Amino acid sequence: MQTKKIWANFRVKDAEHTRAFYTQLGFTPFGATHYPGLASFCFGEDDFVIHFFEQGPQIDTYITPGASGGSEIIFSLAAETEAEVNEWAERVRNAGGTLFREVHRDENGYYGFAFADPDGHRFNVILMDKNM
């Protein structure tokens, strides 16, 4: 069997709040979806779609809150310059995201940071140029 497309589905507390957060970060909404309790956005050059479903019977059947409160997955967003990484960090802060790992160059020489959106979904923004 061949998979035609892949996308991600997350459970969120408030789809409108989520929509405002990712819009403020500059992501493109996916389609003209007016489905209540859903915010969808395209990520990257290939337009990887992440749907953010407001908690309720439709999504809770598939995704329930984790007992540990941890994140099951972290998405990585590629940056092209240090300036772009820094700009992302500022945009995330201004939009109300939480940087749980500040901007830095790690032991492998990668430059970036990690953040959580208002519902705790985790992302990292990384420049993999290895310039030191």
Q: Are residues 83 and 123 in the same domain?
A: yes
| CATH number assigned to the domain comprising residue 17 | 3.30.720.120
- Chain-centre distance for alpha carbon 71: 12
How far apart are alpha carbons 122 and 114 in whole angstroms? 7
Q: How many domains does the chain have?
A: 2
How far apart are alpha carbons 3 and 59 in whole angstroms? 22
Q: Are residues 2 and 60 in the same domain?
A: yes
Domain final residue pick, 44, 65, 86: 65
Q: What is the pLDDT of residues 57-106, one digit of tens each?
A: 778 766 766 545 555 678 889 999 999 999 999 999 999 999 999 999 98
Backbone angles phi, psi at 36, to 5 degrees: -60, 140
Q: Residue 132: which domain range?
A: 70-132
Q: Are residues 47 and 77 in the same domain?
A: no
Higher pLDDT, 15 or 62: 15
Domain final residue pick, 37, 65, 93: 65
Q: Are residues 51 and 85 in the same domain?
A: no
What's the pLDDT band for 108 if we cut at 50, 70, 90? confident
Domain final residue pick, 65, 93, 121: 65
